[in-house]
Amino acid sequence: MAELYIRVAEDENEEPMEIPSEDDGTVLLSTVAAQFPGACGLRYRSPVSQCMRGVRLVEGVLHAPENGWGNLVYIVNYPKDNKRKMDEIDASSAVKIKRGDQKTSDLIVLGLPWKTSEQDLKDYFSTFGEVIMVQVKRDVKTGNSKGFGFVRFTDYEAQVKVMSQRHMIDGRWCDCKLPNSKQGPDEPMRSRKVFVGRCTEDMTAEELRQFFMQYGEVTDVFIPKPFRAFAFVTFCKFWCF
């Protein structure tokens, strides 16, 4: 296929920019993102239905609609809650996106000696990285340690390291694990699978994919059979939802 450009803009009223396609007629998301930092996909207004449609995105490759790219102007999708250019995002949130599913969570510290204090814990765990908080759980009445506590690190790398080994703290071997009681306040935010309720029976997986791709790359659409009026849409883990 001859070299082809597709017209891309941030919204329908803006001057479009021409973006080159690949030899096979596809367009790489990375090519779009080079001009529109933070882009996660494309959409366009269907000349037939007048509705916005998502452009198929599979593993970073944008695929032309059925009749080719044509002369339509394609609109850039940005991640949900983040419909702005990457260069407008401050450094800290850029780090959060980059880390994606690497957010830290509290770790439970099991097997602490009775005498170990929070200061002791902080002193010990600070050798692995910056510590956000430590807790020693104590009996409310007596103030005696219950022999376990919690720790949270700034960096996920420190968390992984700490979870991967046992710890000699004040003369006892202790274990650090992910708590199983609470899932941690960030777990729901980290979920890549969203529940889609009140589906009608005529909705197809393809239609759901087309719709939800405006929020990011869709890696799976699940529709239970027989019909149950709901579905699950799973997004690529690159973006945190």
Partner DNA sequence: GTTGAGCGTT
Cis? peptide before 47, omega within 30° of 0: no
Given 146, 166, 193, 228, the residue binding DNA (CB under 7 A): 146
Alpha helices in 71-204 (DSSP H): 91-99, 118-125, 156-163, 187-190
Given 137, 161, 190, 237, the residue binding DNA (CB under 7 A): 137
- Asked if 164 interacts with DNA (CB under 7 A), we say no
In whole angstroms, give the CA distance from residue 88 to residue 162.
35
Given 7, 45, 161, 172, the residue binding DNA (CB under 7 A): 172
- Considering CB under 7 A, how many residues would be counted as binding DNA? 24
- Asked if 154 interacts with DNA (CB under 7 A), we say no
> At its nearest, how many Å lie between DNA and the CB of residue 131?
13
> At its nearest, how many Å lie between DNA and the CB of residue 204?
40
- Asked if 148 interacts with DNA (CB under 7 A), we say yes
Classify the phi-psi angles of 60: left when phi > 0, otherwise alpha if psi is within -120 to 50, otherwise beta: left
Only segment of 5-13, 75-83, 157-165, 175-183 that touches DNA (CB under 7 A):
175-183
Task: Tell me which DSSP letter residue 16 carries.
Answer: P
Q: Is 81 helix (H, G, I), strand (E, B) or coil?
A: coil
Tokens coding 199: 């589906």
> At its nearest, how many Å lie between DNA and the CB of residue 206?
40
Binding mask 180-199 for DNA (x = CB under 7 A): xxx-x---------------
Q: How many angstroms separate the first and last alpha carbons of the chain?
A: 37
User: Which of 78, 35, 101 has its CA nearest to residue 240?
Assistant: 101
Task: Tell me which DSSP letter residue 140 carries.
Answer: T
CA dihedral (236, 238, 239, 241) positive or negative? positive
Given 2, 48, 91, 140, the residue binding DNA (CB under 7 A): 140
State residue 38 phi and psi, 5-degree precision: 95, -5
Q: Are β-strands 193-196 and 52-54 bridged in parallel, bridged antiparallel, or unpaired?
A: unpaired
Given 64, 147, 161, 223, the residue binding DNA (CB under 7 A): 147
> At its nearest, how many Å lie between DNA and the CB of residue 239?
25
> At its nearest, how many Å lie between DNA and the CB of residue 142?
7
In the bound state with DNA, the residue whose beta carbon lies nearer, of 21 and 105, is 105
Q: Tokens 């960096």 label which residue? A: 155
Binding mask 90-129 for DNA (x = CB under 7 A): ---------------xx-x-xxxxx---------------
Binding site for DNA (CB under 7 A): 105-106, 108, 110-114, 135, 137, 140, 142, 144, 146-148, 150, 172, 177, 179-182, 184
